[in-house]
């Protein structure tokens, strides 16, 4: 096993050849470089090594199209050979300037694991990550025999989607498992190509790896390891200037806690430092640090996966690092239109636009452009970057969006905010570097001389007259501190009326959130899903109330639920600490929790029926019509004998049975005292203990003074 960063000589050479029968150079192959490479990744359990290197060779100008290859022997023992045991990798290059940009083509970039595992009987897919420096369309196909010494039936249980570069295992049972060789060729075509049969690729590069089918998997097919939210997302794209560091943590947990993570495999660029596998409880992780060199400028892929003790694998995740490049688009504020918006009666939209300093495209996931009211910062309208009301201009640098007239009907100061990722740069195939957007309300602010006064907006559906804005209609409770009381149990808000969500409700510790199915987006109230054709023509101004909201003409007021008090801002509610006043009325312990409190008892006492007073259940009193009797649990008072226990008068001794000491008296004997109130007669006495005399010596190991009483109504 080789160490990371070590230069390895496998033997053999890179050969170059051409097919032009009229060029004498093409009569034989040329040796153009050795096959030394630097180790970047390896696996001790599986005994494989991955590496990379580069070399420079100047080809003759007399020939533009070349094949560069390297061949050897042999594949490990395979379940299905479909060709020879030897292997070959071959790339096709074209050194003629491209007709579309006048530059020499740059080939696609990819990375794969050494081994891809599929659980037997489970239909699963493996997406091959692809980037192209020229922004070309890349197609993935099985390599021909002349390219790889393999035929396209080498994996009879799989199918390749050439356009999406996804290899799918059909889930067929493989009796004793199996190992299969996958040989692919990745070709780049002009951007937008859909008919590959009539198009000629600019170049082709090889990609080869092993597929291992774990025979007859007995568990659930979705029990594979899962990455945490701290792990880089698949398809993530980031600029990385020379001299700066890329840092990340790969965190993964098992779906079944009876398993463990045995390996996090990586395919990394040269020089990347990755710590060994560690764990903290059920979380397993490896830390990543990389300082790229000036020789690594361009698109660099970093990929990883996790394997558990049952042999199941996570998804293969890849991120693209744009070394020495700057593709992050930033807003050019001077280009914003309009600078002074006009408030109008009626329906319809106003057109807005702003330019960016880089080429842009739409993101893969929702992100929003927001119209906010100042100084509160409340969102009165938002539009999803994925909706039809947001477009990108033909110059690929201008963002256009539409805002309905009614949402600008109220007089006031406003600002446009642009979320991070509303647009992305064009440096990556699967996404792009996200714009930081506009987060400051000071950047794009403006005053609207509204057709309606403050607190009023245009009435639907004709939008010709003004009406009071019901701020409380969109008022939602803010998140509470779920750490305020770690001992409390989560309330499943989704269990009651679906949490108020129109479609999907997701309960999480301390709160919940609503979701929308594909094709719908979340509305301003964060509860209702709307379709692409839905807009928010009515002015909406969510109140900032933490809890309860009361709408008033032109305004609103906030209040708090029981157990909370309103703060000086008139909107926020904070918990009242009931235990701070008279211990909350508790006889012993008081515990404050969010919105309420509860009483507790020390060891040996239990909570009484009023949930505030602690009582000793090992001592009880039975009140008769003319007598009262005390019962003491022997196990609790085991340090006394029956002869020691008495009432106030020493002649009133205790008796016993197998479980209790018993001491009884009539209401007018044994020193019983009587107290009177307007409504009750109260008779009381107390249990005492005599000293223990041993060999004429008075001793006392324990003492007791236990008052008890019986209360009788004067009406009886």
Asked whether residue 60 carries a pLDDT value surpassing 50, the answer given is: yes
- On whether the CB atoms of residues 181 and 75 are closer than 8 A, the answer is yes
Q: 10 Å Cβ neighbour count for 447?
A: 12
DSSP bridge pairs for 344: none
Tokens 């692919």 -> residue: 184
Asked whether residue 482 carries a pLDDT value surpassing 50, the answer given is: no
- On whether the CB atoms of residues 553 and 571 are closer than 8 A, the answer is no
pLDDT digits (tens, 9 = 90+) for 29-43: 899 999 898 899 988
Sign of CA dihedral 520, 522, 523, 527: positive
Integer CA distances (angstroms), 716 to 130, 166, 677, 711, 712, in order? 93, 89, 14, 11, 8
Say which range, 12-16, 311-315, 711-715, has the weakest mean pLDDT: 711-715
* pLDDT bracket for residue 517 (50, 70, 90): confident
Nearest residue to 371 via CA among 544, 542, 554: 542
At 326, give phi and psi (nearest 5°): -135, 95
pLDDT of res. 535: 45
* pLDDT bracket for residue 701 (50, 70, 90): low
Nearest residue to 236 via CA among 365, 372, 95, 367: 365
pLDDT of res. 4: 60
Structure tokens at 369: 């452009």
* pLDDT bracket for residue 676 (50, 70, 90): confident
Percent of residues, the chain, with pLDDT higher than 70 = 91
First to last CA, the chain: 96
pLDDT of res. 101: 85
At 662, give phi and psi (nearest 5°): -125, 130
Sign of CA dihedral 600, 603, 609, 615: negative
pLDDT of res. 475: 56
* pLDDT bracket for residue 699 (50, 70, 90): low
Say which range, 42-46, 112-116, 293-297, has the weakest mean pLDDT: 42-46
Q: Which long-range contacts (CB under 8 A, 24 or more apart) does 438-442 make?
A: 438/331, 438/333, 441/372, 441/374, 441/377, 441/415, 441/417, 442/415
At 561, give phi and psi (nearest 5°): -75, 165
Asked whether residue 547 carries a pLDDT value surpassing 90, the answer given is: no
* pLDDT bracket for residue 669 (50, 70, 90): very high
pLDDT digits (tens, 9 = 90+) for 318-328: 999 999 988 89
pLDDT of res. 488: 42
pLDDT of res. 122: 86
Asked whether residue 1 carries a pLDDT value surpassing 60, the answer given is: no
Tokens 């560690």 -> residue: 278
DSSP-based three-state secondary structure for 369: strand
pLDDT digits (tens, 9 = 90+) for 282-337: 899 999 999 999 999 999 999 999 999 888 899 999 999 999 988 899 999 999 99
pLDDT of res. 490: 57
Q: What one-character DSSP code corresponds to residue 309? A: T
Whether omega for the bond prior to residue 366 falls within 30 degrees of 0, making it cis, is no
Say which range, 605-614, 670-679, 695-704, has the weakest mean pLDDT: 695-704
Q: 10 Å Cβ neighbour count for 682?
A: 13
pLDDT of res. 536: 45
DSSP bridge pairs for 549: 558
Question: Which domains occur in the chain, in start order?
Answer: 13-214 (2.60.40.60), 226-323 (2.60.40.10), 339-468 (2.60.40), 547-573 (no CATH), 578-607 (no CATH), 617-713 (2.60.40.3210)
Q: What one-character DSSP code corresponds to residue 438? A: B
Asked whether residue 466 carries a pLDDT value surpassing 80, the answer given is: yes
Asked whether residue 55 carries a pLDDT value surpassing 60, the answer given is: yes
Q: Are strands 237-240 and 317-323 parallel, antiparallel or unpaired?
A: parallel
Contacts of 161 (CB under 8 A, 6+ apart): 167, 168
pLDDT digits (tens, 9 = 90+) for 550-598: 888 878 889 998 889 999 988 899 999 989 989 988 988 898 888 888 8
Asked whether residue 540 carries a pLDDT value surpassing 50, the answer given is: yes
- How far apart are alpha carbons 154 and 182 in whole angstroms? 7
pLDDT of res. 393: 94
Segment 594-621 shows an average pLDDT of: 81
> CA angle, corner 541, sides to 535 and 547, nearest 5?
120
Asked whether residue 281 carries a pLDDT value surpassing 90, the answer given is: no
pLDDT of res. 538: 59
Asked whether residue 485 carries a pLDDT value surpassing 60, the answer given is: no
pLDDT of res. 539: 65
Rounded to an integer, what is the distance from CA 326 to the centroid of its chain?
28
Asked whether residue 695 carries a pLDDT value surpassing 70, the answer given is: no
Rounded to an integer, what is the distance from CA 194 to the centroid of its chain?
35
- On whether the CB atoms of residues 384 and 402 are closer than 8 A, the answer is no
pLDDT digits (tens, 9 = 90+) for 75-95: 888 887 766 678 899 999 999
Percent of residues, the chain, with pLDDT higher than 90 = 45
- How far apart are alpha carbons 440 and 543 in whole angstroms? 21
pLDDT of res. 352: 96
pLDDT of res. 500: 80
Structure tokens at 435: 């714009």
Segment 337-359 shows an average pLDDT of: 92
SS (H, E, C) 217-278: CCCCCCCCCEECCCCCCCCCEEEECCCCCEEEEEEEECCCCCCCEEEEEEECCCCCEECCCE
pLDDT of res. 92: 94
* pLDDT bracket for residue 8 (50, 70, 90): confident
Asked whether residue 445 carries a pLDDT value surpassing 90, the answer given is: yes
Say which range, 291-295, 611-615, 629-633, has the weakest mean pLDDT: 611-615
Structure tokens at 195: 């008919």
Structure tokens at 572: 């926020």
Asked whether residue 531 carries a pLDDT value surpassing 70, the answer given is: no
pLDDT of res. 694: 64
Asked whether residue 484 carries a pLDDT value surpassing 60, the answer given is: no
- On whether the CB atoms of residues 479 and 511 are closer than 8 A, the answer is yes
Segment 616-641 shows an average pLDDT of: 87
Q: What's the chain's length in residues?
A: 716
- How far apart are alpha carbons 394 and 581 in whole angstroms? 68
Higher pLDDT, 706 or 208: 208
- How far apart are alpha carbons 297 and 240 in whole angstroms? 9
């Amino acid at each position: 096993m080789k160490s990371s960063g070590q230069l390895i000589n496998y033997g053999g050479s890179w050969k170059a050849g051409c097919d032009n029968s009229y060029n004498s150079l093409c009569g034989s192959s040329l040796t153009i470089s050795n096959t030394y490479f630097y180790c970047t990744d390896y696996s001790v359990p599986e005994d494989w090594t991955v590496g990379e290197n580069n070399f420079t060779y100047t080809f003759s100008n007399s020939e533009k199209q070349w094949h560069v290859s390297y061949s050897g022997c042999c594949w490990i023992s395979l379940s299905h050979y479909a060709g020879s045991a030897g292997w070959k990798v071959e790339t096709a290059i074209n050194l003629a300037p491209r007709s579309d940009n006048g530059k020499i083509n740059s080939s696609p970039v990819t990375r794969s694991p050494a081994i891809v595992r599929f659980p037997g009987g489970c239909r699963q897919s493996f997406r091959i990550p692809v980037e192209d420096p020229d922004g070309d369309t890349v197609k993935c196909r099985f390599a021909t025999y002349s390219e790889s010494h393999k035929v396209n039936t080498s994996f009879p249980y799989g199918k390749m989607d050439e356009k999406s570069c996804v290899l799918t295992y059909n889930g067929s049972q493989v009796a004793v498992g199996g190992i299969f060789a996958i040989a692919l060729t990745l070709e780049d075509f002009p951007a937008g190509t859909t008919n590959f049969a009539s198009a000629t690729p600019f170049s082709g590069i090889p990609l080869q790896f092993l597929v291992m089918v774990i025979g007859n998997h007995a568990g659930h097919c979705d029990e594979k390891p899962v990455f945490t939210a701290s792990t880089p997302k698949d398809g993530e794209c980031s600029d990385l200037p020379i001299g700066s560091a890329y840092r990340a943590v790969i965190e993964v947990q098992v779906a079944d806690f009876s398993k463990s993570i045995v390996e996090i495999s990586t395919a990394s660029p040269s020089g990347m430092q990755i710590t060994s596998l560690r764990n903290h409880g059920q979380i397993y992780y490896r830390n990543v640090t990389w300082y790229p060199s000036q020789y690594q400028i361009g698109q660099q892929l970093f990929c990883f996966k996790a394997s558990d003790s049952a042999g199941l694998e996570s998804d293969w995740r890849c991120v693209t690092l744009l070394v020495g490049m700057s593709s992050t688009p930033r807003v050019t504020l001077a280009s914003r239109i309009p600078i002074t918006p006009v408030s109008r009666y009626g329906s319809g939209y106003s057109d807005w636009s702003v330019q960016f300093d880089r080429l842009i495209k739409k993101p893969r996931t929702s992100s929003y452009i927001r119209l906010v009211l100042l100084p509160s910062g409340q969102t009165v309208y938002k539009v999803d970057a994925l909706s039809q009301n947001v477009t990108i201009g033909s110059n690929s640098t201008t963002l256009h969006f539409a805002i309905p007239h009614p949402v600008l009907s109220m007089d006031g100061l406003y600002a446009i905010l642009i979320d991070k990722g509303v647009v992305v740069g064009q440096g990556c195939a699967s996404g792009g570097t996200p714009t930081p957007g506009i987060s400051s309300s000071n950047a794009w602010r403006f005053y609207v001389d509204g057709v309606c006064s403050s607190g009023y907006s245009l009435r639907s559906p004709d939008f010709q007259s003004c009406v009071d804005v019901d701020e409380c209609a969109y008022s939602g409770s803010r998140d509470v501190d779920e750490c305020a009381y770690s001992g409390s149990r989560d309330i499943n808000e989704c269990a009651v009326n679906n949490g108020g969500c129109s479609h999907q409700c997701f309960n999480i510790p301390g709160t919940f959130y609503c979701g929308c199915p594909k094709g719908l987006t979340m509305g301003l109230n964060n509860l209702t899903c709307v379709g692409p054709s839905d807009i928010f023509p009515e002015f909406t101004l969510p109140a900032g109330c933490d809890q309860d909201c009361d709408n008033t003409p032109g305004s609103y007021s906030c209040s708090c639920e029981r157990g909370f008090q309103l703060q000086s801002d008139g909107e926020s509610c904070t918990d009242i600490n009931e235990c701070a006043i008279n211990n909350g009325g508790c006889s012993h312990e008081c515990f404050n929790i969010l919105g309420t409190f509860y009483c507790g008892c020390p060891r040996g006492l239990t909570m009484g029926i009023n949930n505030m007073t602690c009582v000793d259940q090992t001592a009880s009193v039975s009140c008769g019509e003319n007598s009262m009797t005390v019962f003491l649990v022997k196990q609790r008072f085991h340090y006394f004998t029956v002869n020691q226990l008495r009432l106030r008068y020493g002649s009133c001794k205790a008796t016993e049975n197998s479980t209790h000491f018993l001491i009884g008296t009539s209401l007018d004997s044994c020193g019983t005292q009587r107290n009177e109130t307007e409504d009750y007669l109260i008779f009381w006495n107390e249990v005492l203990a005599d000293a223990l005399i041993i060999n004429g010596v008075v001793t006392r190991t324990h003492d007791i003074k236990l008052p008890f009483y019986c209360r009788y109504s004067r009406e009886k």
